[in-house]
């Protein structure tokens, strides 16, 4: 058990932050997966736009590093452009 009030408060905050971070990581993974699961070009372009937004928000809140975000955005853009060329 925590013995100090500040330590008890920090433990409560950690639980809340853990839940929020888990939700944010899940939202990010889902957005990326939606782009990769797209079969037609129009849907892929639309989901790419929302994925960009989610990725940028994840960087802003500190969920992922800026370089990882750039790598994800590049990978998704390549996927969508390859999909557009194939159709």
Write out pLDDT tens, residues 47-74: 999 999 999 999 999 999 999 999 999 9
Residue 87 has pLDDT above 70, yes or no: no
Give pTM, 2 decimals: 0.86
- How far is it, in rounded angstroms, from Cα 77 to Cα 82? 8
pLDDT at 85: 87
Q: Are 44 and 80 in contact (CB under 8 A)?
A: yes
Domain boundaries, the chain: 5-86
DSSP-derived letter for residue 64 is S
C-beta atoms surrounding 51 within 10 Å:
24
Closest CA to 30 of 61, 54, 65: 54
pLDDT at 3: 85
Average pLDDT over all residues of the chain: 94
Architecture of domain 5-86: Up-down Bundle (1.20)
């Amino acid at each position: 058990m925590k013995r100090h009030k500040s330590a008890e408060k920090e433990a409560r905050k950690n639980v809340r932050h853990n839940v929020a971070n888990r939700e944010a990581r899940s939202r990010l993974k889902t957005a990326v997966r939606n782009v990769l699961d797209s079969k037609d070009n129009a849907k892929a372009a639309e989901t790419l736009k929302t994925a960009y937004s989610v990725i940028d928000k994840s960087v802003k809140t500190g969920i992922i590093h800026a370089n990882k975000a750039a790598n994800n955005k590049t990978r998704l853009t390549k996927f969508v452009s390859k999909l557009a060329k194939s159709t």
